[in-house]
Chain A
Amino acid sequence: QDNRISIWSAGDLGNAGLNGEYHGEPHLLCDIQHNGDVMDMQFLDQERIVVASSTGTVTVFRHHQNNQTLSANHRWEKAHYHMDQDTPCGGAACTGVVCNNPEIVTVGEDGRINLFRADQKDAVRTIDNADSSTLHAVTFLRTTEILTVNSIGQLKIWDLRQQRNEPSQIFSLAGDRVPLHCVDRHPNQQHIVATGGQDGMLSIWDIRQGTMPVSLLNAHEAEMWEVHFHPSNPDHLFTCSEDGSLWHWDTSTNVSEKPSFLHQGGRSTAYLSHSTINQSVVSAWLSNDPTKDRMEITNLIPNQTLSVNSLDVLGPCLVYGTDAEAIYVNRQLFA
């Protein structure tokens, strides 16, 4: 297998034409061989990228911008493994990685949580058997707390300051324990968390209260692989799925003035939260009145075929990759 980590340039902003369209396709700047499938990756800082591999290894690559090369800076072999470390097939896939410079947290199919520091050889902390099932994704809740989701439908909060190897809180879906595949936290309001499940369902949680999600939205027809709040426009959420679609969820308030309700496929079911909240400060994501606050949902892919595995969004740009070995760049998200 020939897997590579590549850095692409998606065209300069200066090249935008009269209508703001960008000219030119993304072109490859540099790439480097990678051992195993790339399960997840994230920028640690301007130059370094942390990559999680299906062999259980976590690697930090450095991008040298002066001569446009990539080099492997640091590697934690066997960060994730099953039982016997020495057997050749003992590696377990590392399924998720999240960074908060200089800390790196990884989770994997072995149910293990690792905390690394960028330049330290060994793990700062390892929670073995943190979960009896596979941990699919991890994200930071606060600087010392992380959120994980697993394949029996549980959302767990871990406090890294505490030495005990137990989660500080466990949330789970009502009904069937559908595996959860992705998790993201609202950029500004830290109590709002979104997760995506194997049945394509988007769940919004308020972790200050209750152990069940605030709303469940029937979205995709297959596994939802990634969910992302827009970092600067958190009224916008993006989800991508195995069914080949990428949805843009828009709860910005001016939508309610529009008479029509754009909804492509899927019904929206909302569960009312129990306690009363001061309505004026509640985020659009938590409010449950379908007549008042409308959500506009659009599928950004015109003719979908194979799965959209991953997406990322920053400013007006959206990037996503599909199983048809294609990367798409959309530089005018809010046009």
Chain B
Amino acid sequence: VPGADPSARQLCFAWGPAEVLVCETLFGRAGGCRSRCPCRSPCPSRLWAAGRAGGAARALTGSLAGTGDGAPSSSRVFVVRRDQDIYIQTLRKLFNESHGIFMGLQRSEEELAGKSRKAQLVQVSKNYRSVIRACMEDMHQAAVSTRDPALQGQYSTQVSILSAMELIWNLCEILFVEAATAGPLLLRLLDWVRLHVCDVDSMVREVLSSESPSKHKLFWNVVDVFVLQGRMDEARHLLSKEASANPTSMNMYKILDDLMKKMPVPSLGNTQTLTELELKWQHWHEECQRYLQDGTFASNPHMESICKILLGDEDAILEKKELMTTWYHFLVTRLLYSHPTVKPMELRFYAQSSMDLFLGGESSPEPLDMILMSAFEFEMHQVIKECSIVLSNWWFVAHLTDLLDHCKLLQSHNLYFGSNMREFLLLEYASGLFSHHSLWQLGVDYFDHCPEYGRVYLELHIERVPLSTEQKALKVLRICEQRQMHEQVRSICKIMAMKALRNNRLGSALSWSIRAKDAAFATLISDRFLKDYCERGCFSDLDLIDNLGPSMLLSDRLTFLGKYREFHRLYGEQRFAEAARLLLTLMTAHIAPCSFWMTLLTDALPLLEQKEVIFSAEQTYELMRCLEDLTAGNPDKQKFQDDDVETTKVEMLRLALARNLARVIVKEGTVEGS
């Protein structure tokens, strides 16, 4: 962790859902915790976040300067994130595209059996590899075009890491996914080597593009490269140029050319069986042997060494070490010229010996070499384990393991906490994605396909996605709703509704509580409206209240609000009889909160004072009863006694009610006469 020095200060840490907070403290040195760090328990004297220690150490992001509290130097808080790679811009394409391939694989039909299923899986593997290569291309472009040397170094490192990943993946595809059998196995391995050992490409290009290639000093090197890689046609083509330039060696050339042409190679189709191939190969091998022993090529050391290579002479091949550059190239060449019908299970022996011979005790194998060796030994778990240790990101192992699992190659290798390896790796990868502000959406789909713990992980992570805009909140909500995560839906809607409420966006707040079907919150909002009305005497946001529609039924208070507004509207339209009926219903049906009854009764006053009688006798008795209920109520209601305005109101009401009653009794008692 750059900047954190355990010898100078003590460090303590606190785990978060996606990050670790590390801070410096003086606790234990001077007997108290002087810095303002968020330590929950006494800081251990010298401890610091372990767990994927490699990843964590590499993943330091920012450090914030803490507030100095009078101590001589300020203390700092470090935020340590687990996965730094997801922030590399050029890798985003890798994550996005591979997500698409992953989803396609999960959705593909399981019913396809046998060959067609295998072909489908091989295609998926190829898709993954082409995505890696596309990313490598982009990264290479970025490395070439940038002017910052540090960035350039970073990009170049990434290119080599991606290239190594593709190398390993390709080998796994040949050995595990396609499970090439003896015969085609060698062809695939040859392709693999040709694709990945490209240190010699520039030399090849140089020679081929020169005017007279046979005069080029690297001419024989290039021919050797072709022979070592089994590219017979190209080798013969070059040799023909040499032959035409050098008529004296025409005889030798013809023989060598003939041998190279006749060399039996495994074919992809079923045109010959292995035994046939072996027989042919044996004959051919003896023929080469004869020519060598006859001294046919004695005068030209280059051609002689080529013949020795054709015979699979290990020393001859080893001489060309620099042209092969890697031990696995050596392995494949060896197999081509000594055991072309090698069976998959025999690879391990040849691999081990090739590595030993090639490295020859000078250098020790690197991690990449060990991974490839494990692959040749068909130790899938070992491959995955070693890749996990070496790579800084779970992307590779998660996707490769998932693919191998679909090939039904991994037994349920139960880890001690219950989930299997595929699920464990996918969970780790997806958790890493969730700490990214935008890539978290990909993580959701990965969690979906982890049957045991995926849902739990998703529930915990989704609540922590920062909701900076409403649109983002809507996306998160949709994800939760689709998976019936009702707790999370309620919680998110509450957060958004509270935010809206604080910003005085009552309509937004209501819309969020409708989405969550949150009656309690709707009540809260209605109370807010009613409070505003009481304070200001008029409604705010009429466009909302007038248009509540069926959502009015979400909560009683909301219904009251809607109906109350309707009362005002009816009054405004002078439809007094309906207004009166509505007002009465509001009180008698107990929809109105008790605190509001006084207001309602006061609203009844103008109706009572109208020239024509509106309230019937029945209704007037009801109103009187309500008033009595209100005033006779809780004697704790001090304000009724203290407040002059209140007592005046009550008196006015009583008077108005009495007068109305008088008029209505007369009116109702009158016979409709002339």
- With A92-B503, A132-B544, A223-B474 given, is the CB distance from A175 to B100 under 8 Å? no
In angstroms, Cα B477 to Cα A198, docked, is: 11
Residue of A nearest to B512 (CB): A151
Pick the residue among B96, B103, B470, B507 that contacts A131 (CB under 8 A): B507
Identify which of B43-51, B310-318, B546-554 touches chain A.
B546-554
Identify which of A114-122, A272-280, A301-309 touches chain B.
A301-309
- With A177-B514, A242-B478, A324-B96 given, is the CB distance from A133 to B505 under 8 Å? yes
**A240 smallest CB distance to B (angstroms):** 14
Pick the residue among A151, A174, A303 that contacts B507 (CB under 8 A): A151
Q: A54 within 8 Å of B by Cβ? A: yes
In angstroms, Cα B99 to Cα A305, docked, is: 9
Q: A239 within 8 Å of B by Cβ? A: no
**B409 smallest CB distance to A (angstroms):** 26
In angstroms, Cα B433 to Cα A325, docked, is: 15
Size of the chain A interface, CB-CB below 8 angstroms: 44
Q: Are B507 and A111 in contact (CB under 8 A)?
A: yes
B61-101, CB under 8 A of A: which get 1 and which 0?
A: 00000000000000000000000000001001100100110
Across-interface contacts of B504 in A (CB, < 8 A): 82-83
In angstroms, Cα B544 to Cα A174, docked, is: 14
Q: Are A134 and B508 in contact (CB under 8 A)?
A: yes
Q: A179 within 8 Å of B by Cβ? A: yes
Pick the residue among B100, B104, B505, B541 that contacts A324 (CB under 8 A): B100
Q: Are B508 and A1 in contact (CB under 8 A)?
A: no
Q: Are A93 and B508 in contact (CB under 8 A)?
A: no
Size of the chain B interface, CB-CB below 8 angstroms: 40
Q: B506 within 8 Å of A by Cβ? A: yes
Pick the residue among A134, A167, A177 that contacts B505 (CB under 8 A): A134
Q: Are A152 and B547 in contact (CB under 8 A)?
A: yes
A158-190, CB under 8 A of B: which get 1 and which 0?
A: 000000000100101111110100000000000
In angstroms, Cα B85 to Cα A123, docked, is: 43
Q: A282 within 8 Å of B by Cβ? A: no
**B442 smallest CB distance to A (angstroms):** 8
Q: A37 within 8 Å of B by Cβ? A: yes
Pick the residue among B103, B468, B540, B549 that contacts A172 (CB under 8 A): B549
Q: Are B511 and A222 in contact (CB under 8 A)?
A: no
- With A111-B507, A134-B505, A324-B96 given, is the CB distance from A167 to B445 under 8 Å? no
- With A176-B549, A177-B548 given, is the CB distance from A152 to B96 under 8 Å? no
Contacting A at CB under 8 A, from B333-354, are none
In angstroms, Cα B504 to Cα A173, docked, is: 24
Residues of chain A whose beta carbon lies under 8 Å from any beta carbon of chain B: 1-2, 37, 39, 54, 82-83, 92-93, 95, 109-111, 131-134, 150-154, 156, 167, 170, 172-177, 179, 198, 222-223, 242, 303, 305-307, 323-326
Q: Which 6 A-B pairs have the closest CB atoms?
A: A133-B507, A132-B507, A132-B541, A82-B503, A151-B511, A93-B469
CB<8 Å pairs between A and B, sample of 22: A37-B471, A37-B472, A82-B504, A83-B503, A92-B503, A93-B470, A93-B471, A95-B471, A109-B508, A111-B508, A132-B543, A133-B510, A151-B511, A152-B511, A172-B547, A177-B511, A177-B514, A177-B549, A222-B478, A242-B474, A324-B100, A325-B96
